Structure 1
């Protein structure tokens, strides 16, 4: 069964600052398209799908 990445990601953010403000300390912010769209996910979700699809972490846990 293929993983549907869009179901894991949730709502997109067009602004990194807004994503940083909304995330909790235990979450990370990722992007896949050079910084045009950002998503807030847990590290577990990132490891189980988006990482393999080319998403990169732009804000780590605790930041």
Structure 2
């Protein structure tokens, strides 16, 4: 996301899934497009890696709760 807006349209989709934490810790994400993506990793919501993807940063700063009761 650029500081200077350009004429364009972005669509960002976030998905939430309930998973077994013990199973996730054993899985290693695979980067199947290394020329397009630096990599994948698992993060806890309260300990996200920085810098954040622009739309995700706005969600975090806006107090978005991905785990509503």
TM-score normalized with structure 2 length: 0.28
TM-score normalized with structure 1 length: 0.29
Greater share of strand residues, 1 or 2?
1
Instruction: Between the two structures, name the one with larger relative contact order (CA 8 Å, sep ≥ 6).
Output: 1
Greater share of helix residues, 1 or 2?
1
